[in-house]
Amino acid sequence: MPVSTESKRNRACAALMKQVRAILDGEGPTPSSLHAIKLKLVALAKRVELFPLSDFEMPVSQGRNIPLLLEENDGHGLYLTINLPGKEAAPHDHGIWCVNAAVSGEEKHEFYRRTDENSPPGQATVVKTGEVIVRPGQGMAMADHDIHSNIVIGDVPAIGLALYGYAIARFPGVIWYHPEFGSTRASPSRRLAA
């Protein structure tokens, strides 16, 4: 009896998470370990036959995160992301590391650094420090408290894999930055509600 695409995908995701655990158990979420995880995630994303769009519901507007493997308790979360052309997110810090890799399409990530110290609550200044285009064969990794914005470029959806230090349902509070106003806003932590 032939093995289904879903079964193959589930096995591949479980194998990835085993590799991720081994890397993190060795040195924690350091720049070098996150780079190693990125290479593993890019390799999985290259296996496009595991992620046929017919297996996933397209978003009605903007984007969708589809859980592929969620670990128990405070474990990691691996998602298939489908973001429509033009979908964007302002600069933000999700408070936890993440790694992204593209299955298809392109998404531009811009990175920022805070330049203020001891600003009153709700105020902050950030400057752009770089950018990367996440496309097939390329990914990106961010450490805890890195700041990035993202936008889907081109006229096709950006389909990708996203691996987070926690499942989305257990994210710490997300801080959103508004560079043009020198302000911030915080989304509440989901950790207490999960």
Q: What is the pLDDT of residues 92-132, one digit of tens each?
A: 998 899 999 999 999 999 999 999 887 788 899 999 999 99
Q: Please say if the pLDDT value at position 191 is more than 70.
A: no
Q: Please say if the pLDDT value at position 164 is more than 90.
A: yes
Q: Considering the domain boundaries, does residue 149 fall inside one? A: yes
Helix and strand element counts for the chain (H, E): 2, 11
Query: CATH number of the domain that 89 lies in?
Result: 2.60.120.10
| Cα 188 to Cα 163: distance, rounded to the nearest angstrom | 21
* Cα-based distances in Å from 158 to 36, 41, 94, 166: 23, 16, 20, 22
Q: Considering the domain boundaries, does residue 44 fall inside one? A: yes
Is the model more confident about 191 or about 88? 88
Query: Is 158 exposed, middle or buried (CB count within 10 Å of its CB: 0-12, 13-18, 19+)?
Result: buried
Q: Considering the domain boundaries, does residue 57 fall inside one? A: yes
Q: Considering the domain boundaries, does residue 193 fall inside one? A: no
Neighbours of 4 (CB within 10 A): 10
Mean per-residue pLDDT, 141-165: 95
Mean pLDDT, the chain, whole residue set? 92
Q: What is the pTM of this model?
A: 0.92
Is the model more confident about 111 or about 186? 111
Q: How many CA atoms lie within 13 A of 23 on its CB side?
A: 20
Q: Considering the domain boundaries, does residue 79 fall inside one? A: yes
* Banded pLDDT at 75 (limits 50, 70, 90): confident
| Cα 86 to Cα 107: distance, rounded to the nearest angstrom | 9
The β-bridge relationship of strands 139-142 and 175-178 is unpaired
- Total structural domains in the chain? 1
Q: Considering the domain boundaries, does residue 194 fall inside one? A: no
Question: What domain range is 17 assigned to?
Answer: 5-186
The β-bridge relationship of strands 183-186 and 175-178 is antiparallel
